[in-house]
Structure 1
């Protein structure tokens, strides 16, 4: 049956990034409503919503990139910084 897993397969990991993004999107809607409720101008609330949406979008990109990097690390055994030519901390320079 396609729905059954063997005993050796690990259970699927929860998609925590999607949960974080959902809560962030919820706050992008809720915060401006609360600001308007407490007397902030519509322009101020709209600015807050746009700022929160921009931060949410950047965080989503960074979280997804981190997920892809971690998945490559699990498959290849190499660190992500080594894969993209980042800093190598294994080589150290002598200190006087």
Structure 2
């Protein structure tokens, strides 16, 4: 019994058109939302390099550096506070232990 090509052709056409339609839709959505298009090997076809984008990158880099510096100072402060509060807590426990045992 030979393969029925008459049943295969409409399914192949529907799958092909669906794939093409999906590709067109995703490409349109990427363009609409400002994403760069990808080439065959994943490289950007037209990376946006206008003045506004360069300024935005510069501002975000500066903000990132400020936040990293702030995070570093918070970590240092947390270590110092932990040392101060833990040593005071340990000292009070040691005093209480010595008061309960007069020897």
Q: Normalised by the size of structure 1, how large is the TM-score?
A: 0.38
From the CA coordinates, give the structure whose radius of gyration is larger: 2
Q: Of Structure 1 and Structure 2, which has the larger fraction of its residues in helix?
A: 2
- With the length of structure 2 as denominator, give the TM-score of the two structures: 0.35
